[in-house]
Amino acid sequence: MPYQPSTPLLELMRKLAALPGAARPRPRRDISAQGIALIKRFEGCARLRPDGLIEAYPDPGTGADPWTIGWGATGADRFNGGTIGPATRWTQTQCDARLVEDLARYAAEVAAAIGGALTTQSQFDAMGSFHYNTGAIARATLTQRHIAGDHAGAAREFARWNRAGGRVLQGLVRRRAAETELYLA
């Protein structure tokens, strides 16, 4: 459930924001159930083995690194140590736990990148999905356009991120179209 500041907290935030030269505190932002559903739809939790464990798979663009497991987890294997690779196996519970951990990190990074820019929950969710997949929220032109209030321009930027390993992947084309649709909702 997304964090909702209490009425006393909101009142305190308003008072602090009214002080001369005061920084404007912002409540924490989370990726909503709609954004999580979009991420899960495109990440999938694939590679279920006969023994019930889920195994890692190579990047579809490169056929190698980065190896991915569960709901799109790459990098450190926090359950077995080391890095996610061809021999990595997790339970469904571990995949789900890593998703929760990653969602919190990616949401915080999106919130930091957009700062105080006016942002609907749908826009935040779309940018969260984009960042979850690309890791590029801080450097993407779509972020700059969103901050500037050019939402139509930002929406057009999603489609540019459709390549992996130097080639266009239809899965990325579909994902970017879904993110654009959510962003404009």
Distance (Å, rounded) from C-alpha 26 to C-alpha 87?
A: 42
Catalytic residue among 11, 43, 109, 157: 43
Residue 179 is a catalytic residue: no
Catalytic residues: 43
